[in-house]
A = this chain, B = another copy of it.
Amino acid sequence: MTLLGMDLGGTKLAVALFDEQGKPLHREHIPLGNRGGREVGGLITGSLKTLLGSQKYGAIESIGIAVPGIYHAANGRVWAPNISGWDDYPLLDEVEKVTGRTPVVIDSDRACYILGESWQGNAKGCRDAIYMAVGTGIGAGILTAGNVLRGASDIAGAIGWMALKKPFSDAYVSCGCFEHYASGDGIARTTLVVLREMSSYTGRLRDIPPAELSARQVFTAYSNNDPVAKEVIRLCVEFWGMAAANLVSLFNPGKIIFGGGLFGPATPLIPNIRQEAAKWAQPVSMRQVSFEPSALGNDAGVFGAAFLALKNAGFNQSL
């Protein structure tokens, strides 16, 4: 059985074929370039047509697609903020024009990340698992009893909005409290605050124009023992630990997988995050959960999309 997984990102479309054991048979990356709206839809349907027409890797029996935003399962439409014209894009309708009788299933990238990790990554076989994606923004893909948590309108897992520090500040309005402090952009914001407070500091971060300060530069400074970077990372570990603790207490998961652009450089901090979480979380759940980095990295999306396809084809329904 050949499965097709697609992971649409803001800059490229990743495509991969797998057998039903999760062995990759073929991979490709197609840059989006300046495409938007229906051109991006055309890129997807064009690639599907080509692959469905080829028998090189066996007949494709099921298709899964990950999208960078929200997938509305009831009407097959997609909201993807980083693709122009995809406020309410009818992706399922477009795709089904070229897929004929081959079944297609779509879900959010976050959902696919945790499905991928639970199929072939660091949450293998785990039916209650959470993928905490920390990059420019923060979100989570959540599996409960083997199923993706959708909520009443497909927007469950918006963990960037977690309330962790009272009282409320207007700074939280646009992205939520947790994301304000502990996303990639949040690290830059927090660094500016710590720089103001640490007036005696003369290190390299002081010389970077505020608008150019990035999480990457803070991590580089951290690895050089920079005192501002150390304080910023200490604060981030506190927020990541509190947020992870809340996921542990609420969901009682077997695994939390840390991924996204920041894990990456924050991966060696996972034991520190666990130590912070252990202070806050329900103690029995905390002893049972394990915290892991993503095993699949940038490939988690295509793996998860292929696993969606596998489940949709009626195989391996239970994880």
Chain A residues with CB under 8 Å of chain B are: 126-128, 140, 142, 144-145, 147, 149-168, 172, 176-177, 238-239, 242-243, 245-247, 249-254, 276, 279-282, 284-285, 288-289
Count of identical protomers in the assembly: 2
Closest residue of chain B to A249 (Cβ to Cβ) is B161
The complex places the Cα of A151 from the Cα of B161 at a distance, in Å, of 22
- Please determine whether A158 and B252 come into contact, CB atoms closer than 8 angstroms: yes
Q: Output the least CB separation between A73 and chain B (Å).
A: 11
Task: Please judge, given known A-B contacts A145-B147, A164-B163, A166-B242, whether A156 and B280 are in contact too, CB under 8 Å.
Answer: no
Known: A163-B242, A177-B280, A242-B163. A285 touches B155 (CB 8 A): yes
The distance in angstroms between the C-alpha atoms of A177 and B281, with both chains bound, is 9
Q: Which residue of B lies closest to A241 (CB)?
A: B163
Mind listing 20 A-B residue pairs with CB under 8 Å?
A: A127-B152, A140-B250, A144-B144, A144-B149, A151-B253, A153-B284, A154-B252, A158-B285, A161-B249, A161-B281, A162-B246, A162-B249, A163-B164, A163-B243, A163-B246, A163-B281, A164-B166, A167-B238, A168-B279, A168-B280
